[in-house]
Structure 1
């Protein structure tokens, strides 16, 4: 089913269910109705599901509407870092992690603190140094994808290829992310590679379906969408023995092995196995994989669409990359020092973010902010509008228009300018000490993909009128039907 058709189907499903609920309550008001149903438990249970719909008890973690706080430094710091406002809990609800990852609600405060410290240490503090060494492996894996795995819808006489933009971005990002997590040995197995690709997609589909299905039907929805968790089970069957052996029985060659997140997380948690059991560690890795698999491909889709909409930026960025390659090795450091590429990516993400709401948190207990407002009842979701922050004309003059040089020419009042920077005016990574720790990993994947595509191809939309995305709640979702034409520029210039 194409993603853009999914909301329509869900709308019809909800409409039918709500219509049935009206019939149910009309009949229910008749005398003796419950007595009549007692001999028919299946009918009674089905009508209870209808009752759940009618009373708003279906699975919508952000219904009623989330509570918004002002996007000020003080408020956002408190929102981000209060132990009673849980980031993990809100996404556990949203993605149904109890079903999609077998993660039950536990001591949220302990989990948040323990995991946040580990993620920050491995991804944010040590991440850039690891990525410097990991860069050549990612480049090789990306070249392999571009040379062997691109799947054109058709090939034209001039050698140009027509591709599904969404599918291409998903697979490209998945291939590089899988190397970061699991190295080459595991991901060279087609079955494992497919499972790594499938699991995040299944989880997102479950999230969409969970919104309109009664809570009692979540296990059935999950079983159907994921084929009873086939991808998750395969992944666990391959990585659990590696974790159990502290990676000693893993035959991934030295060099890359020590750089993978599977190895680093396993080694870093050896001394705390009372909490970091193999099961807990696996759940943490799979949660990171979900985040790492979804946001990069959606943003890559948005960036490539923008390059088609503003083709002059293909030449601008291509020239910057060429100059950076001149008389010096093109490595992680050089790729990180491309101000026009950073400005282009940041401005594009400012205009079209994955989520218009950010720093989502669920109140574990009743909570009132330090200045007295707002009051957040237990179980409610609270967040800020990242859209309002990134479209504030006081910070970004002419905020509705694309200005690719905005963060190079200083046409803004933000204190930061790189794509991976965290700022109160630019919230795609969150804010405060719990800002996305994997942003450096996601950024290198996106920059590598863009740089390689720009050097190899001219890119344009097959249909210039095709829109970039549709909105699902506060989320920007790429159209599956968008196709692009990649025209080779001659002999590809490989990074040295």
Structure 2
């Protein structure tokens, strides 16, 4: 389907959804907000009238604003950020209004708000439509996130050699070393490498190298976000219908069970026979999930399979896009930048070896990766929350329960108040900042703060960011020491990223040329 056909299809779906919402308005003149997954709070239509609007705000024209948002979300958010910095403004998405808060005070208010007032999980449910795309059980009990946040993070050092081994093998298979320049489609190739590397930690060999299992996890990631975007074009009344028609879950779980069921069943049998710490028990995601599993109905092969798919989705999506952005930026850098990065990697690994500690010493690389994420890798909106109880910000702005709230990620990352010459890519911007006294931790890629939102902010920052950054550093280090890279036609500009609604992905068709590094 061409881009024009896609937009026309989405436009018709938006209008169709709008007619159903209009019917509800005419009948009742009240909007029902879902709070804590039940209809408990009623708010009049004018509840957000005190918040400035970007785009059409009329009863009917606002639905056209929802269509505009699909195509021009970044520009609309930037307009609001420029006009109302330090205040809140609202924009119309296809299915609802969202309030965007700006300025350090309001963002800090959002960060400090309790989960009782500003719901993270409720916002994720609304954005990704988790009940249909990932399964209701995942939302009702998300113990797997604690496994990622704690157990996985603790095991990065212990499993580092396995991760690096898989990077070497995956690159060898997907991007064979050649003395001639050879073109590879960047994002699709990167996703295969990242999927294999990630699953070396999650499920081990040989499954991490199984082509159908790799394709499954890549396709599931894409299918989830595609389905969520379309479901969100419909009003609440029709989302169950659209969700059940569009869900990728049943097909994906059935396919995943063919690969994972024998492994999980074997683990459960051995645990029942020999106890939790049976000899030879693998130190991988399956074991970690079993250790933290709350037992009962969640201790099933199907439920565990769904959680592995869910964790894969988050891990592959974030790291693949981040690495592709880094790759595009590496491909256009002057020789002195590449030399500085290579010398850092060589020096650190010669002294400390290839391990987690060594990756922590790659300050210039960390800066390069963070700058690529800031420059091209952050969507128009981030840090989503759902207001669960009426909330008043420090400037007196009150938002009613049921309101979606977010932060303007890309606009903030290109604000000269925080970043000098923000439109310019400066590879060592953050390593230079870390050289200042007391600033060595604040400016790491792994550390979210009020000026940097690639991994979110506050209590609900991405739980897997520690593994993601270490994996990313290892991927980039291997690339630098193994290959020379450049863009097709010796281009010196980053391939145009793809924007759809609020989300941005690296260019999906651009190719990068690789050859064996000339020493």
Give the TM-score band, short-chain normalised.
Answer: 0.7 to 0.9
Which residue of 2 is the match for residue 209 of structure 1?
A: 230
Cα deviation for residue 206 of structure 1 reads 1.7
Deviates more, 1:292-301 or 1:303-312: 303-312
Number of paired residues? 439
Which residue of 2 is the match for residue 161 of structure 1?
A: 182
Q: What is the rounded CA distance, in whole Å, between the counterparts of 2:13 and 2:282 in structure 1?
A: 52
Listed as ranges, the gaps of 5+ residues in structure 1 are 25-50, 492-496
Q: What is the rounded CA distance, in whole Å, between the counterparts of 2:322 and 2:95 in structure 1?
A: 26
| Corresponding residue SS for 1:131 | coil
Within the candidate set 130, 140, 144, 1:97 is matched to 130
Which residue of 1 is the match for residue 26 of structure 2?
A: none
Q: What is the rounded CA distance, in whole Å, between the counterparts of 1:334 and 1:165 in structure 2?
A: 27
Q: Is 1:408 the equivalent of 2:431?
A: yes
TM-score norm. by structure 1 comes to 0.77
Cα deviation for residue 85 of structure 1 reads 2.7
1:70-109 mapped onto 2 (5 Å cutoff): 70=102, 71-72=104-105, 74-79=108-113, 81-103=114-136
Q: What is the rounded CA distance, in whole Å, between the counterparts of 2:168 and 2:345 in structure 1?
A: 17
Q: What is the rounded CA distance, in whole Å, between the counterparts of 1:63 and 1:20 in structure 2?
A: 11
Q: What is the rounded CA distance, in whole Å, between the counterparts of 2:311 and 2:383 in structure 1?
A: 17
Which residue of 2 is the match for residue 310 of structure 1?
A: 333
Change (3 A) 1:366 1:55: farther
Q: What is the rounded CA distance, in whole Å, between the counterparts of 2:163 and 2:314 in structure 1?
A: 19
Cα deviation for residue 345 of structure 1 reads 1.1
RMSD: 3.8
Runs of 4 or more off by more than 6 Å in structure 1? Answer: 18-24, 53-62, 411-415
Listed as ranges, the gaps of 5+ residues in structure 2 are 21-59, 71-91, 272-277
Contact 1:299 1:354 in 2 (8 A): no
Contact 2:488 2:512 in 1 (8 A): yes
Within the candidate set 203, 213, 218, 1:182 is matched to 203
TM-score norm. by structure 2 comes to 0.73
Q: Is 1:130 the equivalent of 2:188?
A: no
Contact 1:242 1:248 in 2 (8 A): no
Which residue of 2 is the match for residue 289 of structure 1?
A: 312
Contact 1:164 1:481 in 2 (8 A): yes
Q: Is 1:232 the equivalent of 2:253?
A: yes
Change (3 A) 1:377 1:57: farther
Q: Is 1:368 the equivalent of 2:399?
A: no
Within the candidate set 295, 309, 312, 1:273 is matched to 295
Q: What is the rounded CA distance, in whole Å, between the counterparts of 1:23 and 1:210 in structure 2?
A: 16
Q: What is the rounded CA distance, in whole Å, between the counterparts of 2:134 and 2:281 in structure 1?
A: 25
| Corresponding residue SS for 2:156 | helix
Cα deviation for residue 249 of structure 1 reads 4.5
Q: What is the rounded CA distance, in whole Å, between the counterparts of 2:331 and 2:359 in structure 1?
A: 22
| Corresponding residue SS for 1:383 | strand
Which residue of 1 is the match for residue 171 of structure 2?
A: 146
Within the candidate set 438, 449, 455, 2:481 is matched to 455
Which residue of 1 is the match for residue 354 of structure 2?
A: 330
